[in-house]
Amino acid sequence: MQYQRLGRLALEVSPLCLGTMNFGWEGQGTSEEDAFRIMDHALDKGINFFDTANVYGRRKDAAPGEGVTEQIIGRWFAQGGNRRERVVLATKVYGGMGDWPNYSGLSALNIRRACDASLRRLQTDHIDLYQMHHIDRRAPWEEIWQAMQQLVDAGKVLYIGSSNFAGIHIVEANEAARSRHFMGLVAEQSLYNLTARTVELEVLPACERYGLGVIPWSPLAGGLLGGALAKATEGRRSDPGFQRRVQEERPKLEAWEKLCADIGERPADVALAWLLANPIVTAPIIGPRTMDQLDGSLRALDISLSAEILRSLDEVFPGPGGEAPEAYAW
């Protein structure tokens, strides 16, 4: 495994980030036993970057805000064997964790409350990367950064990141942090894949200017880029909603899967390799439900896409045309 720095930091992470969103969803997710095996196997393969969120996981009998996925990870850490010490742990704050006021969003009260609750569930004394799961338009930056600085000063959090921010939010956040002599954002987790390239306009340029590592989520477009035509009836692909997406995108998917077949690689691996070919990308988030899916994702690290292939992919899935404003103006 060849590790790389997370944005401008000295922190080294694996070029694939293990997403845990599938862990703990009753009836459709990965069981705790299988989640333990997947996390152990990820470490064995050199993946040291794990991502979760306080809102992930749900059981039918679970109370709002139980944080099922974080609890699973915490019980895995509790087994010892230097599991916690070997992991760069990222989690998130914003989503609703209760019906009472101040149990969602980015108020200072909720940030402190949510962090302490995540630490308890994760059975750890600190979070390596604490990410704001969404922008909170009601919360002023002085309130957010005061709360985050207190967490950093207390040793509960090392770095602060964002998720689903627009370019302007990244600028505002880091300029407000600069005025407080605070490090500010170090990473942005964005929806980014061949079918969703809007972030190329302003989010990626903002990340590059401020030295943020980019962590793409949904790199396979919810399975659309994972061989949707060849595996049309497997697992969740049989869902009517997914099938509608497949039919809407069929001409592009036919060209996509043919291109992948021509170069002798699986579509899912090419989709990850395309993201990794962008130097601003630190680590796409993979969300394996099985060991085979985890092992399969590692192939992407060995794929080098030529300039010709990258141009062909742009023809199949055109981006916005580059950065703003040149993408739409002279």
| Six-digit token string for 270 | 């090419």
Residue 94 C-alpha from the chain's centroid: 15
Residue type, 225: L
Q: 3-class SS at 128?
A: strand
Partner residues linked to 196 by β-bridges: 193
Place of tokens 């050199």: 46
Burial of 318 per CB tally in 10 Å (0-12, 13-18, 19+)? exposed
Annotated catalytic residue, options 3, 56, 94, 103: 56
| Six-digit token string for 136 | 């909170």
In angstroms, the CA 275 to CA 268 distance is 11
Partner residues linked to 157 by β-bridges: 127
Q: Is 56 one of the catalytic residues?
A: yes
Q: Which helix (H) or strand (E) holds 169?
A: helix 167-179
Using alpha carbons, select from 43, 49, 37 the residue that is nearest to residue 11.
Answer: 49
Residues identified as active-site: 56
